[in-house]
Structure 1
Amino acid sequence: MRRRHVAPLAATVLAMSAVLASASTASAYPADKSSVLSSWTQTSSTSYNAWNSARLNQGAWAAYGFDWSTDYCSTSPDNPWGFPFKLACARHDFGYRNYKAAGTFSANKSRIDSAFYADLKRVCSNYSGASRVACDSTAWTYYHAVDIFGLKGADVAAKDRAGAN
């Protein structure tokens, strides 16, 4: 009697494993470049971690033609007062450059800036006391700089790149 239940259960487990394996493989590299770009420019730490993993393995994403170039925090310090903002700035540049290239920058700027602020706040969450207050204040300043001046800076950078060609 026990044997009658084992075979269907084993078949179900194997079928589910096959479905889950193919689903995870399929979703690891979506065919749609805009979907990948969107998934890497959200405010969550999962989005940040996925972008950073891809940044460290850019060759695997070469077919998408992403622009990975960065000037980090532009004319602002990359690590103000020792707070490591450099990678948050790199992801912000990634969003700006790739959405500009896609022609959808204006529709996505607010989210890219919000993701930048979320990344900065995650950096600051590693501090406490006066250091945390100083980090949070600096993060707020960096966020407002890109919120207010980011469009102008992105346009200047695009013109600079176009002039270099």
Structure 2
Amino acid sequence: MTKAQKIKKLASLSGNSGASRDRWHAALTQHLQGKAAIKKYRFDWGTDYCSGAPEKIAGGYNFTFSCYRHDFGYRNYKKTVGKKAFKKSHKARIDKAFYTDMKSACGAKFWADPYTPSQRKKLKAACLKTAKKYYEAVVAVG
């Protein structure tokens, strides 16, 4: 596995799109199943999820996978390209993907929603506000 191949695969798994998010979920599944197709990249799949901030928030919204994918991007790019190159060329894209992933989580539709439409609207607004705070935190500190 060359460095260029690893970077190309990382880019496909950490981009700011639904397709990239879907590829990351598929890669995570392959990793959990021990598949050679993903093992060959020797990615770091470690995570602390949202670094102590709640992953699950009021209304049933869940940022667990958003935070996991964000950690995946940070950890693997830093190891592959170094911290300086990571901050210059990759951090902003990974942070933006994180924000998009969280906003997508805030758009979840619950088939057995116990809340009234008015309550759901308020909960969704609170979710989006939390997503923005998490995004601003990683931009500032990450």
- TM-score of the superposed pair, with normalisation by structure 1: 0.69
> Which one has more relative contact order, counting CA pairs under 8 Å at least 6 apart?
2
Runs of 5+ consecutive residues of structure 2 not aligned to the other structure: 110-119
Distance in 2 separating the partners of 1:77 and 1:135: 12
Paired with 1:120 and 1:109, the residues of 2 have a C-alpha distance of: 17
Q: How far has the Cα of 1:126 moved from its partner?
A: 1.9
Is the partner of 1:64 in helix, strand or coil? Answer: coil
1:144-155, aligned counterparts within 5 Å?
144-150=136-142
Q: What amino acid sits opposite 2:69 in the alignment?
A: R
List alignment gaps of at least 5 residues for structure 1: 1-30, 151-165
- Identity among equivalent pairs (%): 44
Name segments (4+ residues, structure 1) moved above 3 Å: none
Specify the structure having the higher radius of gyration (Cα): 1
Distance in 1, Cα, partners of 2:12 & 2:27: 12
Q: CA RMSD in A?
A: 1.4
Q: Aligned residue pairs: how many? A: 120
Q: Match for 1:42: what amino acid?
A: G
User: What aligned pairs does 1:19-98 form with structure 2 within 5 A after superposition?
Assistant: 32-58=5-31, 59-60=34-35, 61-81=38-58, 82-98=60-76
Bigger helix fraction? 1
The structural deviation recorded for 1:123 is 0.6
Counterparts of 1:32 and 1:110, CA distance in 2: 21
Match of 1:113 among 62, 75, 95: 95
State TM-score, norm by structure 2: 0.80
